[in-house]
């Protein structure tokens, strides 16, 4: 059974495409449905995730039909989007089940191997191999190995080195996340000597404070030219454009906020943008001092549906309120689960990094392979059993207390 669980993690993470939107991971998940659906049902939030996911897929189909009168539609895109969401739900279930068999660190390691295999199978982006291809697989594998070693100094060193490599390769957001994760791992060790535990609310406050300080520190380092003149110049231009490095680098936020305000119930998983949608989106982007009259907006963002470079925006627009609610529930599960582990001084650097990455992706990354992969692993690593059925948790002590 351990071999099956390990192979399942690899196949889910590798995202091998078979047909239009159907992956080998989805096929395997359907075969393993009897075991992982039980595992999910026993987890806090598991039934809500599965239920909202199903409703979101139905909502995407209904909304597409509703808007077919004044919008062009695409059956192939609707199929692609539906199977992508199904892959997320099935992936979380399978990895949660695998964790009950393998334990936390081995599950993360096998999943990391799957991510690495996916890079080999799908090819690499020659413009920036680290940022677009190697960063996430390498981070997962390295930090999973650190979890297995149970050495705090090695985990902190790995986080810092990965952060520097990311910053040097124009992955400023990843560098900030790794820096914050390293700080929180150190904080756990220091605070453990001062007190036994902390409250979840206090831990969330520490998360927020550390994130702000870490991001500000890295931004200062970049503007000072520590990571190259090109990165400094690009950052200065983005700040000058909108007054913020985040808004300057993510003008799609203006498009998503305007589109959601105009269509609060969503548009559908198979609906294509019309001229009015394009005008609304461009208006929102222009308010951030971004010139939207370019090929990027017409071809990438709205050339084949809606891509607003935000998981929340993508899910909301494609699957309506149920899609947005699904992501919010996933964020609550991840946030509270990680905060609990940090409060108990038991969170790994990988768990903390994934949590920060997931919250960042929810606003600033598209709902695609990389963000889905980190979301699956992050949710699966922090889910815990419902308290009334403690018998199942005895199978895997990782669900009760994270093993350092």
How do residues 232-276 score in pLDDT, each as one tens digit? 555 555 555 544 555 445 788 889 999 999 999 999 999 999 999
Neighbours of 126 (CB within 10 A): 8
**What is the per-residue pLDDT across 52-84, written as a single tens digit (0 to 9) for each?**
999 999 999 999 999 999 999 999 999 999 999
* SS3 (DSSP) at 385: strand
Which pTM does this prediction carry? Answer: 0.86
d(CA 91, CA 336): 21
366 secondary structure, DSSP code: -
Could you give the CA distance from residue 207 to residue 183 in angstroms, rounded to a whole number?
A: 10
Question: How many whole angstroms separate alpha carbon 107 and alpha carbon 123?
Answer: 24
Go through 211-233 and write b for each residue having 16 or more CB atoms within 10 A of its CB, e for each that does not: beebbeebbebbbeeebeeebbe
Q: Say what the pLDDT of residue 210 is.
A: 64
CA distance 281 to 278: 5
Q: Is 247 exposed, middle or buried (0-12, 13-18, 19+ CB in 10 A)?
A: middle
Contact 128, 169 (CB under 8 A): yes
pLDDT at 69: 92
Dihedral sign, Cα of residue 57, residue 58, residue 60, residue 65: positive
Angle between helices 369-382 and 311-343 (to 10 degrees): 30
Q: Give pLDDT tens digits for 42-52.
A: 999 999 999 99
The segments of the chain whose pLDDT lies below 70 read 125-126, 192-249, 388-404
In whole angstroms, give the CA distance from residue 233 to residue 227.
11
- Give the pLDDT score at 35: 96
Give the whole-angstrom CA distance, residue 48 versus residue 41.
Answer: 9
Mean of pLDDT over the chain = 85
């Amino acid at each position: 059974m351990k071999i099956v669980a390990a192979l399942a993690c690899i196949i889910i993470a590798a995202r091998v495409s078979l047909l239009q939107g159907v992956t080998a991971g989805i096929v395997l998940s359907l075969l393993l449905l009897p075991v992982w659906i039980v595992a999910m049902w026993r987890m806090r939030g598991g039934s809500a995730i599965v239920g909202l996911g199903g409703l979101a897929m139905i909502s995407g189909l209904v909304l597409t039909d509703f808007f077919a009168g004044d919008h062009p539609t695409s059956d192939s895109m609707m199929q692609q989007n539906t199977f992508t969401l199904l892959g997320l739900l099935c992936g979380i279930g399978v990895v949660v089940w695998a964790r009950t068999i393998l334990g936390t660190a081995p599950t993360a390691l096998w999943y990391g191997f799957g991510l690495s295999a996916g890079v080999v199978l799908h090819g690499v982006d020659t413009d920036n191999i680290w940022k677009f291809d190697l960063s996430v697989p390498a981070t997962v594998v390295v930090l999973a190995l650190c979890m297995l070693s149970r050495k705090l100094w090695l985990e902190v060193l790995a986080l810092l080195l990965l952060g520097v490599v990311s910053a040097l390769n124009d992955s400023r957001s990843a560098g900030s996340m790794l820096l914050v994760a390293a700080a929180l791992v150190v904080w756990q060790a220091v605070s453990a000597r001062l007190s036994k535990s902390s409250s979840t609310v206090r831990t969330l406050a520490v998360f927020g404070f550390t994130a702000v300080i870490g991001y500000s520190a890295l931004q200062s380092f970049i503007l000072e030219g520590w990571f190259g003149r090109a990165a400094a110049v690009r950052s200065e231009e983005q700040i000058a454009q909108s007054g913020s490095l985040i808004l300057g680098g993510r003008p799609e936020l203006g498009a998503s906020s305007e589109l959601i305000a105009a269509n609060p119930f969503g548009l559908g998983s198979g609906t294509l943008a019309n001229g009015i949608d394009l005008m609304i989106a461009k208006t929102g982007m222009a308010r951030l001092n971004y010139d939207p009259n370019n090929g990027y907006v017409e071809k990438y963002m709205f050339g084949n549906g809606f891509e607003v470079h935000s998981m929340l925006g993508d899910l909301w627009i494609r699957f309506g309120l149920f899609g947005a609610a699904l992501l919010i529930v996933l964020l609550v599960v991840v946030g509270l689960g990680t905060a609990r582990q940090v409060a108990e001084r038991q969170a790994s650097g990988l768990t903390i990094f994934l949590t920060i990455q997931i919250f960042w992706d929810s606003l600033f990354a598209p709902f695609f392979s990389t963000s889905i992969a980190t979301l699956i692993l992050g949710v699966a690593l922090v889910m815990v059993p419902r308290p009334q059925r403690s018998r199942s948790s005895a199978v895997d002590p990782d669900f009760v207390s994270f093993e350092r």
